Structure 1
């Protein structure tokens, strides 16, 4: 009869085996957790990106809570959003470096930033601290607040004053930082005046009541920036949202040429213009 041998495991071996099993279970748990988290992040990011790249879906996205203080009460239509986003995308694709200046920090801001992937996008808004709060929520956004001195109730007087000084203080080509024209914005960040803008979108400030800032000074400043640009493309595309308050929803598209001769240095507009676009520049009215 063969004798039965009893094999006894040393206690330390048993502990090592138990510890090894525990470590494997933790390793499996950690791998599963991070895999699940990565998958959910990928799905969320993809969904957001699709919404940003689709103007129709972006138009229906609910505004984040930090937009509650914005004074831009008129939303763009899906057609207007599609028109502007197409222009931004074309600028980003055509230019080696597209510079986009946006007056008004609206819920389309992230869309413009994403589309202008190879250029610089700067947002200017009349609401104090809105830009800094927006930057905190969305790193990579460059936004500043602007203090406007004009009022809608003063529109006629301001325009008449500017028209009377077209060849002096309110000329099309000038250094806005030191301008004495009442319609000129000279309190913007210094680099705004130094950059050559390929596209300017005017969707602010508010202008639907007498005490509002109105967009006279913004339109004037945009044209001077385009006329006075030193480099980049020969023309700047200027979009003005709700440029006719009696027909809310109208989007103006103007092409402003850089001053290349004496005439363009002393004139804002050519004689030939159309209702929604211009071959030369935007008008002050």
Structure 2
């Protein structure tokens, strides 16, 4: 049992006064001593009873800060909520969501996560990459501004795509002609004039060593849509040009479509495909040394003219 502070009351000594009738008069100094002792004891009691609570609170806060990932129950709950009843075509299936979530949860440190497209899963991705760097890229400046208004903690940017789904084969011909110049696999995208390169993002986005890249936008389901040629090409270059080295996990959603399939095979490579979950392709692409005598994205790919 925890000992409690006790009050000690001292009875002051009295002396018989030589006054009339021999009345007893207490000493003023003795009473002051008793009052001082009472104040000291009261203050000591408050300090000793409050200090343990303060220590416990500070210890708990420190422990919370040291944990970078979400607690497992919260992680699972968010995952279940986002993947349940995914019946609409613009939502990911449960298996697709779990595939991305598993890679995010496996990061030794919080992930650097780049996402092309604002979708039903946007808030989920931001939550699952708790304490990590999460950046969204979308074609709609309106959607980006609304997202930042409602969720100011989310980092998002809009891009004006100049490509069209109907231009797929013309863009692939341009890439083959420029593979040793503007469309090479290792380069600084900020200064690229390749038609497939996204070069107008904020400078710091190109400096981040991205661990995971998800391509789920822009729109690509009709001929006049921007298509995902540029995001797939850009993701391939970012992974190969990664200054910190290491591998980059790249996910391409709706990979069964023509644009996504052809560009993934050309810029992410069949030999880097590790699994497919429903309509989601998962590639792991390693860094490539800036060897100016090599201009292939994939082994036995195209050769410069």
Q: Which range, TM-score by smaller chain?
A: 0.5 to 0.7
Structure 1 residues 187, 53: CA separation in 2 closer, same or farther (over 3 Å shift)?
Answer: farther
Residue of structure 1 equivalent to 2:221 = 208
1:124-151 alpha-carbon deviations (Å, 9 max, x no partner): 1111221121122123111111110000
Residue of structure 1 equivalent to 2:49 = none
Q: Give the alignment of 1:55-74 within 5 angstroms.
A: 55-60=79-84, 74=90
Aligned to 2:141, what secondary structure does the other structure show? coil
Residues 1:237 and 2:249 aligned together: yes
Contact 1:151 1:212 in 2 (8 A): yes
Q: What is the TM-score of this pair, normalised by structure 1?
A: 0.68
Q: Give every structure 1 segment of 4 or more consecutive aligned residues whose post-TM-superposition deviation is greater than 3 Å.
A: 49-54, 246-249
Aligned to 2:285, what secondary structure does the other structure show? strand
Residue of structure 2 equivalent to 1:90 = 106
Residue of structure 2 equivalent to 1:270 = 299
Residue of structure 1 equivalent to 2:134 = 121
Deviation at 1:156, TM superposition (A): 0.5
Residue of structure 2 equivalent to 1:109 = 122
Deviates most, 240-249 or 134-143: 240-249
* Runs (5+) with no aligned partner, structure 1: 1-48, 63-71, 273-285
Residue of structure 2 equivalent to 1:140 = 153
| Alignment match of 2:192 (pick from 174, 179, 194) | 179
Residue of structure 2 equivalent to 1:251 = 280
Residue of structure 2 equivalent to 1:260 = 289
Larger Rg: 2
Contact 2:186 2:290 in 1 (8 A): no
Structure 1 residues 179, 263: CA separation in 2 closer, same or farther (over 3 Å shift)?
Answer: closer
Residue of structure 2 equivalent to 1:153 = 166
Contact 1:259 1:265 in 2 (8 A): no
Deviation at 1:97, TM superposition (A): 4.0
Aligned to 1:256, what secondary structure does the other structure show? strand
Contact 2:164 2:223 in 1 (8 A): yes
